[in-house]
Amino acid sequence: MIDHNTILSFDHYRKGKPFTGSCEGMRYRIIKEAAADEDETDKFRVDTWPEPFCYEITPDEQKTVQRFPFTVDGYNDVIAYLNDMHESYK
């Protein structure tokens, strides 16, 4: 199960550095995506894909992308989403 301890703290993502991990057949990458313009807000971008390869060499068509608001609630949604996606990779 993926939880707050697994994906690092919310504050880690404020720096804009990606975090990657894996869980029983699924790999994932989380990063803060800056707003494209004034009308938008920052987002969490979450990519998931099947193991065994890293993000950089996995073809884009094998990745699933989801975005969430860059808020504490959005952070919690990222965790719930990863756990839901994990079920489909087992």
Residue-range definition of the domain harbouring residue 77? 10-89
Let me know if residue 48 belongs to a domain: yes
**In this predicted structure, what is the pLDDT of residue 8?**
92
Does a structural domain hold residue 78? Answer: yes
List the strands of the sheet with 26-33, edge to edge: 19-23, 26-33, 43-50, 64-69
pLDDT in tens, the chain (90 residues): 899 899 999 999 999 999 999 999 999 999 999 988 887 899 999 999 999 999 999 999 999 999 999 999 999 999 999 999 998 877
Q: Give this prediction's pTM.
A: 0.92
Residue 4 lies in a domain: no
Residue 50: strand pairing partners:
26
